């Protein structure tokens, strides 16, 4: 993952599955980041909180993605892209129904 094109390719592969996980598991993820949108925004600066979210989300990725992307790479990706990836948690309203 040395080149910018490698990092962009990784972002393309992981962004959609990660966003789907964040949408489905918002209720489980928010307490890891403080429970409310303002607290979650503040927690994005906390490496430990973001790492917890990444560790929680990795097993929820599709199996084929987990085969291609090892956990430490995924955690690094989430840590480096936390604002963009976790913005959904701080802006979306909780899903109703289903």
Give pLDDT, residue 82: 84
The CA-atom distances, in angstroms, between 58 and each of 1, 18, 33, 51, 95 are 19, 9, 17, 11, 22
More confident residue, 69 or 91: 69
0.85 exceeded by pTM: no
**The token pair that represents 8 in the structure block:** 């962009």
pLDDT(41) > 80: no
Give pLDDT, residue 17: 81
Give pLDDT, residue 4: 62
Share of the chain above pLDDT 70, in %: 84
Confidence of residue 98 (pLDDT cuts 50, 70, 90): very low
More confident residue, 58 or 92: 58
């Amino acid at each position: 993952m040395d080149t910018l094109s490698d990092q962009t390719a990784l972002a393309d592969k992981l962004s959609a599955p990660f966003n789907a996980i964040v949408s489905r598991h918002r209720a489980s993820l928010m307490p890891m980041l403080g429970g409310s949108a303002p607290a979650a925004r503040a927690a994005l600066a906390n490496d430990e909180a973001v790492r917890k979210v990444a560790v929680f989300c990795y097993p929820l990725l599709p199996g084929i993605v987990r085969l291609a992307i090892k956990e430490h790479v995924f955690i690094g990706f989430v840590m480096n892209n936390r604002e963009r990836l976790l913005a959904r948690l701080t802006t979306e309203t909780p899903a109703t129904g289903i």
